[in-house]
Amino acid sequence: MVKKRFQDKVVFITGAAKGQGRAVALAFAKEGANIIGFDLEKKISYPAYNNANQEDLKKLEKEVHKIGSKIVTFGGDVRNSTDVKAAVEKGISEFNHIDILFNNAGICAYGKSWELSEKEWDSMIGINLTGSWLVSKYVIPYLIKQAAGVIIYNSSIGGLRGMNRLAHYSASKHGLVGLTKSQAIELAPYNIRVISIHPTGVDTPMNDGIAALEGSTPEKIAESSATNLIPVPWIEPVDVAKSVLFLASDDAKYITGSQYVLDAGLLTK
């Protein structure tokens, strides 16, 4: 029997229930990995669209089990250290180790920088940046203990450029670049790689929520904000998943501290 690429590896994924997180979880499962899936337990107040929930996590569990891999899930908020610590400990209790962390949980909403409320600013920075740091804070000691691991932060093209009416979003995603570079330096002595990925718009359910808030359609939102060089409004979650699996694999063993761009040429325009 041919050994799969990530056979018996354990992958911790935040924002696992839908969109990019779900696609990455299923891709790893198909390659033999076991999954620790973390996502929201209850609706958050900002942004005011439907986020993932525990029902979505249960659906993911069934899909992963159907593939033949193992999965444990945990509902909580990445901004809450109690939730994060409990999820990591649950995963370790089940699988004894964590090999790969995909810090994917994130939100997006529009608003001019000077018109944002403090609550809106804090929610964006809290989930996208502070939450990512918090998850890594609790996972890293286990990676150090085994002297191996990969951390991948899901940033955005907004982490490499400014974006109209997305200052809080762009600031949070730029922050992930600084976190990536600094942790890559800190963790290199422990054989731990750290990378950020930077997709253009991705076709996920979040687009429907953003469009509804804007009184528009997902296609119009994508076309106005992305303007990709390759003439597509967005890329697919599976495209992100393929890149994440490559970066987590031994084929990318010398890639660390880097920003991996999946922008359909947008930043070249």
Q: What is the 3-state secondary structure (H, E, C) of 244-261?
A: HHHHHCHHHCCCCCCEEE
**What integer is the mean pLDDT of 68-72?**
98
- In this predicted structure, what is the pLDDT of residue 221? 80
Domain boundaries, the chain: 10-268
Q: Cα(115)–Cα(111) distance, rounded to whole angstroms? A: 7
Active site residue 142: no
Q: What class is the 10-268 domain?
A: alpha beta
- In this predicted structure, what is the pLDDT of residue 1? 66
Residues 101, 12: contact at Cβ < 8 Å?
Answer: yes
- How is residue 195 written in tokens? 């990378």
- How is residue 33 written in tokens? 């990995």
Neighbours of 43 (CB within 10 A): 11
Residues 110, 212: contact at Cβ < 8 Å?
Answer: no
Angle at 202 between CA 208 and CA 5, to 5 degrees: 130
Amino acid at 255: I
Using pLDDT thresholds of 50, 70 and 90, give the confidence band for residue 117.
Answer: very high
Closest CA relative to residue 177, chosen from 144, 202, 201, 152:
152
Given the residues 49, 169, 190, 254, the one annotated as active site: 169
Using pLDDT thresholds of 50, 70 and 90, give the confidence band for residue 68.
Answer: very high
- The pLDDT tens digits for 15-30 are 999 999 999 999 999 9
- The pLDDT tens digits for 232-267 are 989 999 999 999 999 999 999 999 999 999 999 999
SS3 14: strand
Amino acid at 8: D
Q: Cα(65)–Cα(63) distance, rounded to whole angstroms? A: 5
- The pLDDT tens digits for 197-224 are 999 999 998 888 898 888 888 888 877 7
Q: DSSP characters for 87-105? A: HHHHHHHHHS---EEEE--
Sheet holding 259-262, edge to edge: 71-75, 34-39, 10-14, 100-103, 149-154, 192-199, 259-262
In sign, the C-alpha dihedral spanning 132, 133, 138, 142 is: positive
Q: Cα(98)–Cα(95) distance, rounded to whole angstroms? A: 8
Question: Before 199, cis peptide (omega within 30)?
Answer: no
Q: How far is CA 243 from CA 27, 82, 92, 148, 247, in A?
A: 11, 31, 26, 20, 6
Q: How far is CA 33 from CA 18, 65, 74, 100, 177, in A?
A: 18, 11, 18, 10, 27
Neighbours of 1 (CB within 10 A): 4
Residue 51 scores a pLDDT above 80: no
- In this predicted structure, what is the pLDDT of residue 41? 86
